[in-house]
């Protein structure tokens, strides 16, 4: 597969700062609005955003399988309905329009003024109307850490874990955009010292460092998507914070899984990086032993080298980076997740979201949750302002960042940043 927009030698006539996540090789999609512009599809480059609605009206997107309403929309879903090849052709076209060696748009300053906006001048909107949201549990390090803490250290992984990319359904209605504050959840908790449960704000609010991917329309009910086909059904990826209330989770989750411990909020980053743009950053996956069942086998590279970090910014203080992890650690990859999800005949639709599960690395400073980093509260983390954290406090902002880099090209996700407000 050759994707012209991925060419590492491409340079844009739009200035891109060296450490920018949004090189011309990235070109992620999002939804912007301004006081004067209705919500519309846009592409990010450097510190600018390209307004695709206006670009379409000006005729720059001709001979592509799109209509004005695909871009003149408050969500990316309509555009995504056109499928993978259309997205690829669109991204290649935009790449060409932004290429320093191409004059068409570059030399028409009147048009440039209309289509290129400073990122500070626009408001980001929730990019996708999410149909179903599924969360996986695919980091062996994370599952092992949880098993060691709460079950038997000698048998930390449950019997099915090495056979199944374990997943469960989550709540789509409470997925929020980076920048939107959330409220500390309340609920039933069962302290060890009381006989009966009590009702209280969660005192063990945690994040989970994850990445999410969005699907295109899949196959009809009853059909399955193979690992070989999976990438054709994946639109793109984002950073994902799967907020979790550990005390609520502990009391409620047996036997049907996490519910109120998770569904109060999950946060996503604003720019959806296409799977195409991630192609150069593919790497080998961890070896899987025992050998997986045949519907989970795959050929080629299916993991991605994505540097990740988590920071906590206390109220009125500077942030402290508390974890550095990498998406490549995941035991189960996205192709296996999607193949498993549909192997029973379950259907997926344009705009469905799948979370990777907490991305914990092998070392203590690469864990993807406070539960693991502070080891159930036994090893509080020191903040730069002198305070300590076992879990997330009110007015803390949790920030996750991620990017890939290779051959001098950087493709990143920006950040997902969420402030926690006291329980209402």
Asked about 340 being catalytic, the answer comes back as no
Please state, as a whole number, how many other Cβ atoms lie within 10 Å of the Cβ of residue 277. 24
Compute the least distance from the CB of residue 303 to a second copy, in Å. Answer: 22
169 binds a second copy, rule: CB under 8 A: yes
118 binds a second copy, rule: CB under 8 A: no
Near a second copy by CB under 8 A: residue from 158, 283, 301, 317: 158
Compute the least distance from the CB of residue 413 to a second copy, in Å. Answer: 23
Please state, as a whole number, how many other Cβ atoms lie within 10 Å of the Cβ of residue 67. 12
Give the C-alpha separation, 109 to 351, whole Å. Answer: 35
Question: Could you tell me how many residues of this chain bind a second copy (CB under 8 A)?
Answer: 64
DSSP states along 21-68: SB-TTT--EEEEE-SSS-SEEEEEETTEEEEHHHHHHTTTTTTSS--H
Give the C-alpha separation, 74 to 33, whole Å. Answer: 9
Compute the least distance from the CB of residue 179 to a second copy, in Å. Answer: 14
Q: Is 345 left (phi over 0), alpha (psi -120 to 50) or beta?
A: left
Compute the least distance from the CB of residue 232 to a second copy, in Å. Answer: 18
Near a second copy by CB under 8 A: residue from 293, 300, 382, 388: 293
Near a second copy by CB under 8 A: residue from 10, 94, 260, 354: 260
192 binds a second copy, rule: CB under 8 A: no
343 binds a second copy, rule: CB under 8 A: yes
Please state, as a whole number, how many other Cβ atoms lie within 10 Å of the Cβ of residue 363. 11
Strand pairing partners for 381?
389
131 binds a second copy, rule: CB under 8 A: yes
Q: Is the peptide bond prior to 405 cis by the omega test (within 30 degrees of 0)?
A: no
346 binds a second copy, rule: CB under 8 A: yes
Please state, as a whole number, how many other Cβ atoms lie within 10 Å of the Cβ of residue 193. 5
Compute the least distance from the CB of residue 28 to a second copy, in Å. Answer: 25
Q: In what order do the strands lie in the sheet with 320-326?
A: 182-183, 409-421, 397-406, 307-313, 320-326
Compute the least distance from the CB of residue 356 to a second copy, in Å. Answer: 14
**Interface with a second copy by CB under 8 A: which range of 72-80, 89-97, 339-347, 389-397?**
339-347
Q: Is 83 left (phi over 0), alpha (psi -120 to 50) or beta?
A: left
Near a second copy by CB under 8 A: residue from 99, 252, 309, 313: 252
**Interface with a second copy by CB under 8 A: which range of 55-63, 261-269, 378-386, 403-411?**
261-269
Using CB under 8 A as the criterion, which residues of the chain lie in contact with a second copy when the complex forms? 131-132, 137, 158, 160, 163-164, 166-174, 176, 182-183, 185-188, 190, 196-199, 221-224, 245, 248, 251-260, 263-265, 290, 293-295, 340-341, 343-349, 352, 421, 423-424
> Any idea which residues carry the catalytic annotation?
142
């Amino acid at each position: 597969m050759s994707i012209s927009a991925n060419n590492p030698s491409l340079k844009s006539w739009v200035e891109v700062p060296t450490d920018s996540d949004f090189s011309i090789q990235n070109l992620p999609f999002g939804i912007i609005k301004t006081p004067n512009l209705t919500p519309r599809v846009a592409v990010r480059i450097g510190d600018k955003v390209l307004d695709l609605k206006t670009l379409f009206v000006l005729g720059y997107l001709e001979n592509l399988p799109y209509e004005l309403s695909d871009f003149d929309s408050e969500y990316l879903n309509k555009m995504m309905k056109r499928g993978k090849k259309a997205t690829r052709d669109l991204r290649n076209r935009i790449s060409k329009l932004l290429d320093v060696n191409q004059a068409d748009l570059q030399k028409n300053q009147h048009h440039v003024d209309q289509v290129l906006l400073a990122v500070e001048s626009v408001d980001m909107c929730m990019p996708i109307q999410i149909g179903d949201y599924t969360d996986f549990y695919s980091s062996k390090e994370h599952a092992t850490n949880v098993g060691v803490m709460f079950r038997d250290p000698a048998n930390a992984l449950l019997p099915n874990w090495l056979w199944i990319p374990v997943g469960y359904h989550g709540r789509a209605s409470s997925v929020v955009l980076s920048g939107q504050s959330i409220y500390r959840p309340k609920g039933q908790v069962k302290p060890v010292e009381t006989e009966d449960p009590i009702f209280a704000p969660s005192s063990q609010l945690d994040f989970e460092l994850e990445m999410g991917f969005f699907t295109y329309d899949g196959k009809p009910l009853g059909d399955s998507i193979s690992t070989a086909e999976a990438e054709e059904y994946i639109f793109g990826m984002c950073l994902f914070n799967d907020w979790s209330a550990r005390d609520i989770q502990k009391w409620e989750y047996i036997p049907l899984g996490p519910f109120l411990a998770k569904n109060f909020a999950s946060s996503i980053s604003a720019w959806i990086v296409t799977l195409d743009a991630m192609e150069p950053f593919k790497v080998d996956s961890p070896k899987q032993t025992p050998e997986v069942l045949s519907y989970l086998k795959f050929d080629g590279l299916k993991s991605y080298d994505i540097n990740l970090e988590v920071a906590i910014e206390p109220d009125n203080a500077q942030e402290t980076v508390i974890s550095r992890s990498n998406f490549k650690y995941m035991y189960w990859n996205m192709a296996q997740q999607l193949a498993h999800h549909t192997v029973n005949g379950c259907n997926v639709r344009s705009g469905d979201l799948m979370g990777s599960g907490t991305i914990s690395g092998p070392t203590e400073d690469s864990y993807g949750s406070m539960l693991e980093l502070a080891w159930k509260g036994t090893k509080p983390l020191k903040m730069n302002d002198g305070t300590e954290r076992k879990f997330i406090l009110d007015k803390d902002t949790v920030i996750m960042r991620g990017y890939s880099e290779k051959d001098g090209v950087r493709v990143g996700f920006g950040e997902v940043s969420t402030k926690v407000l006291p329980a209402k």
